[in-house]
Amino acid sequence: MKDLENKVAIVTGAGSGIGKAVAITLATNGAKVVVSDISEKGGQAVVAEIKANGGDAIFYKADTSVAADNESLVKETLAHYGALHIAVNNAGIGGAAAPTGEYPLDSWEKVIGINLSGVFYGLRYQIEAMLPTGGSIINMASILGQVGTRMSPAYVAAKHGVVGLTKAAALEYADKGIRINSVGPGYIKTPLLEEHLTDEQMSGLVTLHPIGRLGEAQEIAELVLWLSSDKASFVTGAYYAADGGYLAQ
């Protein structure tokens, strides 16, 4: 029997990158997956890939920065699959690059809206749906949920917020069968990163990781899989870095 047999999962930001790897990995391990993204093209492609490999998935378009979209996503999941056992709040953006004293207000609002409020909205409706059965929620933070970096005040603030929010919620629901944890990836080799950075910039990022390379989306997905499963049954309120040694420096 597969680790996630008969489990139902939501993955946000699942149309590409880490979210795509997570959705496919959960499905491969038996979960029925609701693939959610603002990109219908990307999300439907992931659903098609899951189904082609014998998995069960549907797509639901949702903007995580909108509370009503999160509520509708959970309602659609319950209507289609009858339960919710796993949620991965992965959707996020990088935002503008600028010092705090010059940071664009619209970018601040967008980054906080998606990266922090979006996680709260997800928790707000996912928790309610999981109370009858219990479940596992994984919030995608970052190494920048533990340390700072220049030129990304909104992203750093949001990811620190995700770590704190995760701990608070985990304490509230620890005795109700719902485990809530966060994951802190280092810099991961994704299409988004490769599209926006030069080869020189990519090489510079590699030097930040003692392991000598960037991470792969599948490596993050494997950690999420473990946290989603009963193998992590005693784990809640935790922050797990997968960062090639970045935070050990």
User: Quick one: pLDDT at residue 111?
Assistant: 98
Q: Are 218 and 28 in contact (CB under 8 A)?
A: no
Residue 191 has pLDDT above 80, yes or no: no
pLDDT band at residue 1 using 50, 70 and 90 as cut-offs: confident
pLDDT band at residue 194 using 50, 70 and 90 as cut-offs: confident
CATH topology of domain 8-243: Rossmann fold (3.40.50)
Residue 196 has pLDDT above 80, yes or no: no
Q: Are 170 and 179 in contact (CB under 8 A)?
A: yes
User: Quick one: pLDDT at residue 193?
Assistant: 80
pLDDT tens readout for residues 120-156:
999 999 999 999 999 999 999 999 999 999 999 999 9
Domain map of the chain by residue range?
8-243
- Whether the full predicted model's pTM is greater than 0.95, yes or no, is yes
**What is the distance between the alpha carbons of residues 116 and 41, in angstroms, rounded to a whole number?**
25
CB-CB neighbours of 241 under 10 Å: 20
Average pLDDT over residues 208-234: 98
The secondary structure element, H or E, covering residue 35 is strand 32-37
Average pLDDT over residues 235-247: 98
Is 125 among the residues known to form the active site?
A: no
Beta bridge partners of 36: 60
pLDDT tens readout for residues 24-44:
999 999 999 999 999 999 999
**For the chain, where are the alpha helices, taking DSSP H only?**
17-28, 40-52, 67-81, 105-112, 118-130, 153-173, 191-196, 199-206, 217-228
Q: How does DSSP classify residue 179?
A: E
From the candidates 60, 121, 155, 246, give the one annotated as an active-site residue: 155
Query: Measured between alpha carbons, how far is residue 147 from residues 2, 14, 172, 211, 248 in Å?
Result: 37, 26, 26, 19, 11
User: Mean pLDDT over all residues of the chain?
Assistant: 97
pLDDT tens readout for residues 61-101:
999 999 999 999 999 999 999 999 999 999 999 999 999 99
pLDDT band at residue 248 using 50, 70 and 90 as cut-offs: very high
Closest CA to 18 of 207, 218, 152: 218
What percentage of the chain reaches a pLDDT higher than 90?
Answer: 96
**What is the distance between the alpha carbons of residues 112 and 92, in angstroms, rounded to a whole number?**
9
* CA max distance for the chain: 55
Residue 5 has pLDDT above 90, yes or no: yes
What percentage of the chain reaches a pLDDT higher than 70?
Answer: 100
Residue 183 has pLDDT above 80, yes or no: yes
